[in-house]
Structure 1
Amino acid sequence: MTKQEEQTQHHIDSEIHDSANDSKKSASTKKSHGEILKDQICEGQETYNKKPSSIILSSMTAGLEIGFSYLLICSLFYFLKDTFDNTTLFKLIAFVYPVGFILVILGQSILFTEQTSLLTLPVLNRKRSVKSLFKIWSHVILGNLIGGILMALTLIWIGPQLKLFDLNTIETIAKHVTKPDTITIFISAILAGWLMGLLSWLLSSATETVSRIIIIFIITATMSFTGLHHSIIGNVEVFSGMITSESIQFLDYIRFQSFALLGNAIGGAFFVALLKYRAFVYNVDIN
């Protein structure tokens, strides 16, 4: 880093710090852009400071917990299949879809899409390297996928045993998720990643548990109602279909997972972390 770049970075850090302090001194409870940005950077740094084993275990927990959304999705779909057509059922799923996200986020497990922008901000702020970003992303993704696969294997057995849903329900949901072409899944995943990055940003400005639950519900229900592709819960949906149905092949799973992960990463890293950070930096006087 050159001397000029160091001076610029010093001005940015000072401005973030001063903005956060000014907001705390204010009688208003509304957080400033700078205070939210500081909170996000600090939270991202906390994750970087954790041991890899801790990150993977917490991420695996998130993959397991997100499976409760899938349990409710399948149960609702099966329970109402004789009452509504499939198009309506896929819209009604929005009411139960947020449950797993609420469990994960309030329980502070590490979910890739919720952490994407958080982990990118320290890199933009020159506190971490791009290499460290990809390394920690790989740990989080690995944990999320392992947890999701374990939960999928559990649910495809316990669901039919408890008569909560059948294998046909699993197949229908998996085919619905993988039906769009690759470019559609990719763009859809970018939008989902964008929303999840915004979710993380909005949660930094909310302090009460009820308001946090409402924010999580609104964002994730929007993703479900519009059919946007989320790589982690989608992992459970598509893997379950691949295991139980010949209609979903391994290549379908790889195609979905690859482009959903890539899209989610771009959505959170670019449309939230980069744009929010640059919007603040461009307002900093470096003279």
Structure 2
Amino acid sequence: MSDFGKYVDAFTPAEVAEKVKTVGVDKANMSLIPLVILSLMAGAFISFAAMYYTVVMTDAGAAYGMARLLGGLVFALGFILVVIAGAELFTGNTLVVMAYAKGQVSFKALMRNWGIVYFGNLVGALVTVYLVYLSGYLTDGNYGVGVTAIKTGLIKVDHSITEAFVRGLLCNVLVCLSSWMVYASRSVTDKVLAVLFPISGFVAMGFEHSVANMYMIPVAMIAATDQAIVAAGHFDAAQLATLDFAGLMGNLIPVTLGNIVGGAGFVAMTYYLVYVYARPNR
């Protein structure tokens, strides 16, 4: 019988669970310098996706559903870069909890990985925000790109704590299911397709991703300091008042917690119970 199928067919869910555990151990034990560099890269990659999204959503008109679908598809760029080029993304690393639950990673190692990756993603995103500011990108389209950046940021900071948490939870369920399917893939094409629909789906549905928001809200704050952009968007001071540090933290904290619950709880621990805990020999 030919072995061709095993090189073409996707890995089974049980095989994926084993891969996620093994990769989780590697991630938790990664040395500091590579972990920091790859975390910075992931923050920048997701920022590139947010930049692409902002351009596409500028002057999108009344085609709400189709515009959000297109915006979601282009936003998948960031996750494709993370998966194919290689980077450490906080939301995907919530799957490392599977290795912790199995006893292969300590709580300290888990927190080290999450902490370094989270703050590395933040720095990567903020550096990208500064480069965007220097590039003049926000003035493109007769200031339309900057106007879209402000509108996007305002939507995010105006969510209630509950809305931000639940949207973060739902977002990372889809992100981690995408990561799960990437682990099932055998080719670059497989991986791109595994990323495309879950990621475009969460964006189109308006769910909240902490690392994306590390770029989107600060870039809106920067855009709001440009009076030409503010005038082009007909914003007033009262509208822009929530685009401040308190607004940023009011979004990032509940969204981050929601991302953790969605990825670690709803995906990693669910599959752990099915494919690892229920099969003690694994």
Q: TM-score under structure 2 normalisation?
A: 0.84
What are the Cα deviations for residues 1-36 of structure 1, in whole angstroms up to 9, with x where unaligned?
xxxxxxxxxxxxxxxxxxxxxx99979834333321
Distance 1:152 1:86, change over 3 A: farther
CA RMSD of aligned residues (A): 2.4
Distance 1:283 1:85, change over 3 A: closer
What are the Cα deviations for residues 49-85 of structure 1, in whole angstroms up to 9, with x where unaligned?
211222111100110111111111121122x34x436
Question: 2:233 matched to which residue of 1?
Answer: none
Question: 1:122 matched to which residue of 2?
Answer: 99
Question: 1:70 matched to which residue of 2?
Answer: 50
Cα separation, 2, equivalents of 1:105 and 1:232: 15
Equivalent of residue 253 in structure 1, options 248, 256, 262: 248
Distance 1:180 1:160, change over 3 A: closer
Shift of residue 88, structure 1, vs aligned partner: 6.0
Cα separation, 2, equivalents of 1:226 and 1:35: 31
Deviates more, 1:212-221 or 1:161-170: 161-170
Query: Percent of pairs identical after alignment?
Result: 20
Cα separation, 2, equivalents of 1:89 and 1:179: 21
Cα separation, 2, equivalents of 1:213 and 1:273: 21
Cα separation, 2, equivalents of 1:196 and 1:187: 14
What are the Cα deviations for residues 208-253 of structure 1, in whole angstroms up to 9, with x where unaligned?
2112111101110001110010000111101111233244111010
Question: 2:24 matched to which residue of 1?
Answer: 44
Whether the 8 Å CA contact 1:67–1:233 is kept in 2: the answer is yes
Secondary structure (helix, strand or coil) at the match of 1:200 reads helix
Deviates more, 1:65-74 or 1:164-173: 164-173
Secondary structure (helix, strand or coil) at the match of 1:278 reads helix
What are the Cα deviations for residues 117-147 of structure 1, in whole angstroms up to 9, with x where unaligned?
1x11110110111122112100000100000
Question: 1:181 matched to which residue of 2?
Answer: 160
Shift of residue 166, structure 1, vs aligned partner: 3.8
Counting matched residue pairs gives 261
Cα separation, 1, equivalents of 2:33 and 2:108: 18
Whether the 8 Å CA contact 1:104–1:110 is kept in 2: the answer is yes
Runs of 5+ consecutive residues of structure 2 not aligned to the other structure:
225-239
Runs of 5+ consecutive residues of structure 1 not aligned to the other structure:
1-22
Secondary structure (helix, strand or coil) at the match of 1:97 reads helix
Shift of residue 280, structure 1, vs aligned partner: 2.1
